Structure formats: C-alpha cells, structure tokens
Amino acid sequence: MTRLWRGSAVACLAGATLQSSLALSIVVKGIRVALQSGLHLPVLRDGSTMLLLVGLVSIPGVLFGLRAHLRLRESSPRFAELAGAATLFLLGTAVVLVGLSASPLVELH
C-alpha cells in the first residue's frame, strides 16, 4: 500500500508542475497583452473560464496530496515531504488562478 501512496505523491507533484506552468503562461500572456496594448481592462478575455475551472479542479488534487502526505509521514518521510510540497504548490497555484479570475483584469465568459 505504501507503493501506491508513493505513486500518488509523484502524481500529485506532476499535476502541480503542470498547473504551475499553466498559471505562469496565463500570467505572462496577460502581462504581454497589457504591455502591448496598454492597460485597458479587461486584459484577458478568451479562456478565462479555464482559470476558474483549473482553480476549482485543483481542490481534489490538494485533498489527495494531503492524504498522501498524512499516509506517508511515518513509513516514507521523504515521499511525505514530496506530497506536502506538491500540495502546497497546488494550493498556491489555485489561489493565484482563482484570484486572477476574480480580478478586474479578466473578463469571464
């Protein structure tokens, strides 16, 4: 069973990496558009519902990573730290994406 939770910690880290790279690309696109066209609100229009969806979909990932962290704490502390770090990355990125979608810079469709 420990092997399953180790795999889930690695999967959670992979999901956090993908989500963080997606959030970074959205932020860079917003900065680029704002610099090119001036700061006319809203800056981001297309795909902005994706911001909210990715932010809300990450809630199960955070819960899954937290559970893996708690399960692996005693049996495999290094993988528990990996799951904890992935959980924090998922949570931080979700906060950034939901905050970005709630800001006046983004027009939700």
Mean pLDDT for the stretch of residues 63-74: 93
Tell me the pTM. Answer: 0.80
CA neighbor of 90 nearest in space, from 59, 69, 53, 68? 59
Looking at beta carbons, which pairs linking 43-47 to residues 24 or more positions away fall under 8 Å?
Answer: 43/105, 43/106, 44/105, 44/106, 44/107, 45/106, 45/107, 45/109, 46/109
State the virtual CA torsion across 100, 101, 102, 104 in degrees, nearest 10.
Answer: 80
pLDDT for res 29: 84
Residue 36 pLDDT > 80, yes or no?
yes
pLDDT for res 109: 64
Hey, what amino acid is at 54? V
Query: Domain limits of the chain?
Result: 2-102
Residue 63 pLDDT > 70, yes or no?
yes
pLDDT grade for 46, boundaries at 50, 70 and 90: low
Residue 12 pLDDT > 80, yes or no?
yes
pLDDT for res 80: 94
Mean pLDDT for the stretch of residues 52-73: 86
